[in-house]
Amino acid sequence: METLVAITKSNWKSALINLIDEYVVYAPYRFWNQLEYGRVTKDNIGDIVYNQPKPSSPLKSLFLPIRENVVNSSQPAQKRIIMGAPACDLSALSILDEIYLNHDYPDPNYMKYRENTILIGFDCHTTNEHCHCTSYGFHPYPTENSDLVISLIDDNFLISAQSDKGLSFLEKYLSNEEQAPDEQKEKATEIRENIEHDLREKNKDLPDYDKTGEVVMQCGDDIWDRYSDTCVSCGACSAICPTCSCFLLIERPEFEKVRSLDTCQYPGFERVAAGEDPLRPLPKRFRNRYMCKYVWKPEKFQSKACTGCGRCIEACIGEINKNDLFKEQFKNLSIEA
């Protein structure tokens, strides 16, 4: 873990006070026992929650608003800092970038958000019940799409840069800070290794990303019928997912187009003229989401469509655990480990 600077809590607070005069800054806060992104002010800097997984809302909500006018937008190009993004959300940006920064059809609004944002990722020093990032080849600490990474060790913030934007940030705002002591670097590395080991042990029966795709393709109708039995088509699993990004465009007068996030779990998602709807039966909609994540998107994109955050399990009103489905079928189906 190459750490460039170590900064005390008091110095970091002073730096943040200066930053909020220049940037709109977001960070994780505890609201009613839930971790959620909030706007940083001079009064609440001390309440920021560090190195805990994971905000209830995914990072994508700050790049793809639930509803947004995509033409004639008066949204200013604000410079932002988003702190506290966990590794699972940062990795999820890779597939969103493939979709919305496509070289032939880049999305100008998404591009504007990405260009005007400094991303500060946090290591995860603990895990939640349904975290399973390591099962799909990810780490519980940022390795991609972050500009800076922070780990709080012994009352010091260890800050490393992962991009040119991050290096410029350090040179501009934290150039007077010292290198972290070796013992703190070693402790940060030890925490990373322990968390990764715990996740691997906890999820040792869960198939990896590629094997999960094979499981999904081999599941019969009886599996989808049984696991979708308590689904109420609320769409929470897709809304809370850091990689789901389906949307619809709503036409309004005066050439206004409103992009509204949508989900394949809603009835009528694929309804076409004359009322035809291939996903009218609920089990088919339920199956469609897993086929999309583990079969169809891997065929089209380089990035993985699930980063193992576990939010869909936590948000499900019907208490459906996709990992139970995958583990059960992985044991039953003829797939080599």
Per the model's pLDDT, the better-predicted residue between 275 and 53 turns out to be 53
Task: Single out the residue of 202, 169, 210 nearest to residue 336, CA to CA.
Answer: 210
Q: What is the largest CA-CA distance in the chain?
A: 69
Q: Which residues contact 121 (CB under 8 A, 6 or more apart)?
A: 84, 85, 86, 87, 90, 141, 142, 146, 148, 149, 150, 162
Q: Is 1 a residue whose pLDDT tops 50?
A: no
Least confident of 84-88, 117-121, 182-186: 182-186
pLDDT in tens, 14-25: 999 999 999 999
SS3 119: strand
Is the preceding omega at residue 300 within 30 degrees of 0, hence cis? no
Structure confidence at residue 182 (pLDDT): 87
Structure confidence at residue 123 (pLDDT): 97
Q: Is 336 a residue whose pLDDT tops 60?
A: no
Structure confidence at residue 224 (pLDDT): 95
Q: Is 75 a residue whose pLDDT tops 80?
A: no
Structure confidence at residue 298 (pLDDT): 95
Mean pLDDT of 53-73: 88
